[in-house]
Amino acid sequence: MTIAIRGGTVVDGTGAPPVRADVVIDGDRVAAVVGTGAPPVRADAVIDADGLLVAPGFVDLHTHYDAQLFWDPDASPSPLHGVTTVLGGNCGFSLAPLAPESADYISRMMARVEGMPLAALRAGLPWDWRSFGEWLGRLDGRIAVNAGFLAGHSTLRRLVMGERAVGGEATAADLDAMEAALHAALAEGALGFSTSQVHTHNDGDGQPVPSRAAGRQEMERLAGAVRAHPGTTVELIVPGCLNGFSADEVEFLGTMSLLADRPVNWNVLGVSSMNPDGAWSQLEAGTAAAARGATVMALTLPHTMQVRLSFEHGAILDGLPGWREVFALPVPERIAALSDPPTRKRLDEGAQSDEAGILRHLAQWDRLVFDETFAAENAGLEGRSVGELARERGVAPFDALLDVVVADGLRTGLRPPIPESEGDWALRAQTWQDPRAIVGGSDAGAHLDTMCGAIYSTSMLGDGVRARGLLSWEQAVRLLSDVPARLYGLRDRGRLVPGAFADIVVFDPSTIGHQPVRTRDDLPGGASRLYAEATGVCHVLVNGTEIARDGAFTGAVPGRVLRSGRDTDTVHAGADWAGTAA
């Protein structure tokens, strides 16, 4: 089937200036980009792109759609925001390879560390695969987007060591078995290896995830295994990713890249004008790596990640002193406890105590904003602060907050105010263009109760380009498509040129953006998630087939499961992979 996208302005992903042209698609590939003045190409179907930009589909390197794709082949809402390729298995957490006895542990770990409702994981997945290749095979021919996955360290460790994986030191035999399991996963199509050492990653029992018990020898040996497989990469997160690298961590990042002979990308670089030197200090890890012939890249978000707090799921809030016991109660009992004055007093005192540490700032209850409410009596509160309501009702802020929460059956969405300035946006724009950083880190598919990271692309285009003019359209599109595709060696993707796969997004530059985050009750097992629609995204095609039109999915499943070597080329450590030449 031949499709012509006519009358649009093509931004091809290479960084070249936009040109008015028709794009001709034959099957799953771009057949031609025909400039003005040429006669119209005959086609079986035509998409009118007059007044619109036509660009390569966006590539999201850091998602956790591993589970969701089983019940949601669209990987919603990412394609509505222009994403056509997603990469999962990040942070050391993959769903394969899987030992039968580990299914419960892996599901509970994913629920805790990545914020995926356990009810959805249990109801939406069969958990009956074993090898990485068998798991990938379950997705072949059944997904709307292109999707590739890394093999996760914690999953490999659990496969080999069982219960000893949590906190246990790997023996020589364990290391041999882990290396063999990783080789098998990579040979079966895993796009690389991911791991985590960060202290915030805990399993379903509240214990450090398995990879946190790994010594340096173990991580280096697994990185070395990656070198033997073409088209692979390494992703990791270490404590310094969150608060500044130590000299040892900088050396470690470079060494992992050299051992794998692949780029290493880390998640996630925070950028704030309140600490302008922080981002540049973090990026020096890339400079140090380059001096050794290695490649170390920082993933960075183009927007301020707004966190949603809720007394229903309790994420983050359950870290306050004395609060975990309340969140362990069934919902009816929790509502009763939160309605009880002595319990309220105890919880407030715990939150205000020195033991609360860095979470103590959350106890400034008057500053919280009602982001979403549900009960009829709470109508009109969205966008207002707890402090305003407390003054209006003549009660303490914590009482005003909990009165609303109880009336909502605990579902109230609460937003801590996160300062954002024009200085923040200007600084972010500098990091987007820094060769040591790459736009990404959405975490889409994860933390479904606290955020919706899938808006990263439309936020960059809408808030960064359309509203602020921080980049040109061609610069922004290249950063969202070609640059991440090149880092992972995605073959024939990321650019809108003849011969490339027809992964295409058509959007309106005058309206591109995203809508507010809202709750949706559409997960298996009756679970909920946070979700945001896009604005201005008119057409999204994957491999030449339209999967979304004007904010609605078509139901088509033309996506390809990306396998290392077959669908990816090798990007070596220290290589000049980000050039703009077609």
Contact status, residue 14 vs residue 475, Cβ threshold 8 Å: no
Instruction: For the chain, count helices (H), then strands (E).
Output: 19, 24
Of all helices (H) and strands (E), which one includes residue 216? helix 216-226
pLDDT digits (tens, 9 = 90+) for 425-484: 999 999 999 999 999 999 999 999 999 999 999 999 999 999 999 999 999 999 999 999
3-class SS of residue 430: helix
CB-based burial, 501-538: b 16+ in 10 Å, e otherwise: bbbbbbbbbeebbbeebebeeebbeebbbbbbbbbbbb
Q: Could you give the CA distance from residue 250 to residue 240 in angstroms, rounded to a whole number?
A: 9
Bridge partners of residue 264, in order along the sequence: 234, 296
126 CB neighbour count, 10 Å cutoff: 8
Q: Give Cα 482 distance to the centre of its chain.
A: 18
Q: Could you give the CA distance from residue 95 to residue 194 in angstroms, rounded to a whole number?
A: 12
Of all helices (H) and strands (E), which one includes residue 25? strand 19-26
**pLDDT at site 582:** 33
Is there a cis peptide before residue 330, judged by omega within 30 degrees of 0? no
Taking only the tens of pLDDT, the chain with its 582 residues reads 999 999 999 999 999 999 999 999 999 999 999 997 778 888 999 999 999 999 999 999 999 999 999 999 999 999 999 999 999 999 999 999 999 999 999 999 999 999 999 999 999 999 999 999 999 999 999 999 999 999 999 999 999 999 999 999 999 999 999 999 999 999 999 999 999 999 989 999 989 999 999 999 999 999 999 999 999 999 999 999 988 999 999 999 999 999 999 999 999 999 999 898 999 999 999 999 999 999 999 999 999 888 999 999 898 898 899 998 999 999 999 999 999 999 999 999 999 999 998 889 889 999 999 999 999 999 999 999 999 999 999 999 999 999 999 999 999 999 998 888 999 999 999 999 999 999 999 999 999 999 999 999 999 999 999 999 999 999 999 999 999 999 999 999 999 999 999 999 999 999 999 999 999 999 999 999 999 999 999 999 999 999 999 999 999 999 999 999 999 999 999 999 886 433
Contact status, residue 473 vs residue 6, Cβ threshold 8 Å: no
Residues 6+ apart with CB under 8 A from 182: 151, 156, 190, 193, 222, 225, 226
DSSP 8-state code for residue 150 = P
pLDDT digits (tens, 9 = 90+) for 348-377: 999 999 999 888 988 999 999 999 999 999
**Residue 103: both structure tokens together:** 């299914």
Residue 259's Cβ-count burial label (10 Å; 0-12, 13-18, 19+) is: buried
Contact status, residue 331 vs residue 374, Cβ threshold 8 Å: no
Q: Which of 23, 486, 508, 8 is nearest to 263 (CA)?
A: 486
pTM of the model: 0.96
Contact status, residue 239 vs residue 252, Cβ threshold 8 Å: no
Q: Which of 275, 262, 204 is nearest to 236 (CA)?
A: 262
Sign of CA dihedral 530, 535, 538, 540: negative
3-class SS of residue 394: coil
Contact status, residue 545 vs residue 558, Cβ threshold 8 Å: yes
Is there a cis peptide before residue 100, judged by omega within 30 degrees of 0? no
DSSP string, 267-287: EEE---TTSHHHHHHHHHHHH
Contact status, residue 112 vs residue 204, Cβ threshold 8 Å: yes
CA 28 vs CA 60, 543, 559: distances in Å: 20, 4, 10
First-last CA distance in the chain: 26
Contact status, residue 50 vs residue 534, Cβ threshold 8 Å: no
3-class SS of residue 531: strand
Give backbone dihedrals phi and psi of 401, rounded to 5 degrees, phi first: -60, -50
**Residue 131: both structure tokens together:** 């090898």
- H-assigned helices in 261-340: 276-291, 324-327, 331-338
**pLDDT at site 305:** 84
Taking phi over 0 as left and psi of -120 to 50 as alpha, with beta for the rest, 99 belongs to: beta
Give backbone dihedrals phi and psi of 428, rounded to 5 degrees, phi first: -60, -45
**pLDDT at site 243:** 84
Give backbone dihedrals phi and psi of 466, rounded to 5 degrees, phi first: -65, -50
**Residue 400: both structure tokens together:** 């005003």
Q: Fold for domain 59-306+421-491?
A: TIM Barrel (3.20.20)
DSSP 8-state code for residue 63 = B
Contact status, residue 537 vs residue 77, Cβ threshold 8 Å: no
Q: Which of 444, 388, 487, 417 is nearest to 90 (CA)?
A: 444
**Please, how many CA atoms are within 13 Å of residue 423, restricted to the half-sphere of its CB?**
6
Q: Could you give the CA distance from residue 293 to residue 223 in angstroms, rounded to a whole number?
A: 16
**Residue 100: both structure tokens together:** 């039968």
**Residue 253: both structure tokens together:** 């990042």
**pLDDT at site 579:** 63
Side chain identity, residue 296: V
Domain chopping of the chain, boundaries: 59-306+421-491, 317-415
Is there a cis peptide before residue 268, judged by omega within 30 degrees of 0? yes
**pLDDT at site 580:** 43
Contact status, residue 59 vs residue 479, Cβ threshold 8 Å: no
CA 52 vs CA 5, 13, 19, 66, 496: distances in Å: 10, 15, 12, 33, 15
Bridge partners of residue 34, in order along the sequence: 22
